[in-house]
Amino acid sequence: MADKKFELPARGKISTVELNKKLPKKSDGLVVGVFHDDNVVEAIETAWLGGSLLREVNDALATVKAKGTANEITRLPAPKKLDADVIIAVGLGSRDKLDDEVLRRAAGSVSRAVKDLDSVAVALSDDREQVTPVVEGLILGSYSYPGIRGSKDDGVDKPEDKKNKSDKDPAAFTVLGDPKKDAEIFRFAQVGAESVCLARDFVNVPSSHKFPESYASFIRGFAEDAGLKVEVLDEKQLEKEGFGGILAVGQGSVRPPRLVRLHHRPRKAKKKVALVGKGITFDTGGISLKPGAGMGDMIMDMGGSAAVVAATVAAAKLDINVELTTTVPLAENMPSGNAIRPGDVITHYGGITSEILNTDAEGRIVLADAIARASEDKPDYLVEAATLTGHQMLALGKQTYGVMGSDELRDRIAELGRTVGEKAWAMALLEEHAEAIKTPAADIRNISEDRWGGMQFAGTYLSQFVGAGIEWAHLDIAGPAWAASASGYTAKRATGVPVRTLVAWLNEVAS
């Protein structure tokens, strides 16, 4: 029987952005960049703001004692000659420290600060290089998750301030730029940022509405719209083909697992890439139950799958010239009379057996099957992302993801991550773990005997399933996939990390 069709129950609204060489005739706000150097604030001169207007803005900034430090937002009444209501000055800090991430964060801060306006013109500098980070920052910063709300037509006439704020559309932005010359970089930034928001949408959905069958259906909808070929294996097909890891993790839930595969096949691609992502739609820990505090955050345990799916959608929309197959194992990790037990031995896709000593180390179990399957296609590169271990946060904190795998690819991805503003750090896999993974009960065990280097142990576990000769990388995004508070261009909750790293890397492989 075919799976039912499901739609995302809630999506974040995002701003529209267009480029224009001319200042729009009328806008609610005009955004200017402001430097802070030697304790002087100075607005940046652009094609849209110079001469006496610029002097007037600088005087007003001095009067209200604006500082111009990074991300500072100052609202000023617009000079009479301008057909705008307010000037929004955003701090960029010191002139010599200006880079893409400063611009991206400033644009994101603007976007979060102008939710009350409808039309906003943005000129942070005349430099064409500003287009990419500014467009990205504006779109990413405009996103906020609206939640699942009761019917608006509840018959009760609410006072204005009690109305749902998320009903208002975010501001429409016009950015200083050349719509013809900058068309390609603009589209790349826009599609990339919108894909990040798609990943955020997937991750933000609670597990009441997101389980393997419904999530597979959400993915199918967006993937088919982008022109991707989609395959979904249900529990019977998983059984038939021997996906013992995915079935083992999924067996405790009444909502059976799925495996989704997406295919992007440009005609003349020279390189073949496999993406894989962890798709645990909720992680209770299973019989090795997690403590209750904070367990609700485990709706995000499919962040890796969301990121690789969104990057694949972007690759299709941008026509990135690589042959790409994306494999995401989806399962819900629940304790029940039917759940796997510590001590059980399971057989993965491809035949390796594994002793499950902790059912909360479930990500690696489903990923092992998916990596083994993806390896059969003999890709040149295999890149996998997962909210895999709490140890990632112990080692690197909440904002920096860990990258493990083949030396060269690992280092390149970590570097690209930092370039696009998704902080990343390369971690070496440890020789000691090759020993620690052994057990008398099966080929390998799913946790080590001690807790040290838990992120790398998980990486070593996954390495057992990567086919010979494939360059691979494993991205542990446990911390960076989710934000407890908003900052820069990142809203609270799902962040969409590492979508932009993946899109940038795919683009590099294609060129």
193 binds, among Zn ion, Mn ion, ligand BES, none (CB under 5 to 8 A by kind): none
Alpha-carbon distance values, 67 to 39, 42, 427 (Å): 8, 9, 39
How many residues bind Mn ion (CB under 5 A)? The answer is 3
* 304 near ligand BES (CB under 6 A): no
The answer to the question of whether 100 is labelled as a binding residue is no
Residue with the shortest CB distance to Mn ion: 360
**Residue among 67, 115, 290, 492 flagged as catalytic:** 290
Residue with the shortest CB distance to ligand BES: 390
Residue 25 annotated among the catalytic residues of the structure: no
* 360 near ligand BES (CB under 6 A): yes
Residue 482: CB minimum distance to ligand BES, A:
7
Residue 447: CB minimum distance to Mn ion, A:
11
Can you read off the two tokens belonging to residue 38? 């030697």
Strands 17-20 and 471-476: unpaired
Site string for Mn ion, 327-366 (x = CB under 5 A): ---------------------------------x-x----
The answer to the question of whether 360 is labelled as a binding residue is yes
Using CB under 6 A as the binding rule, the residues of this chain from 237 to 296 that contact ligand BES are 283
The answer to the question of whether 65 is labelled as a binding residue is no
Residue 290 annotated among the catalytic residues of the structure: yes
CA dist., res. 250 & res. 232, Å (int):
16
Token look-up 């799958």 returns: 305
Site string for Mn ion, 278-297 (x = CB under 5 A): -----x--------------
* 476 near ligand BES (CB under 6 A): no
Task: For 168-185, give the secondary structure using H, E and C.
Answer: CCCCEEEEECCCCCCHHH
* 3-state SS, residue 472: strand
The residue type at 286? G
Which sign does the torsion angle of CA 224, 10, 105, 482 carry? negative
**Residue among 105, 112, 364, 373 flagged as catalytic:** 364
29 binds, among Zn ion, Mn ion, ligand BES, none (CB under 5 to 8 A by kind): none
For residue 174, list its beta bridge partners: 18, 121
Lay out the sheet containing 444-445: strands in order across: 344-347, 353-356, 444-445
* 361 near ligand BES (CB under 6 A): yes
CA dist., res. 222 & res. 313, Å (int):
7
CB 123 within 8 A of CB 31: yes
For Zn ion, the closer CB: 179 or 296: 296
Can you read off the two tokens belonging to residue 281? 């739609």
Residue 289: CB minimum distance to Mn ion, A:
10
What residues are annotated to the active site? Answer: 290, 364
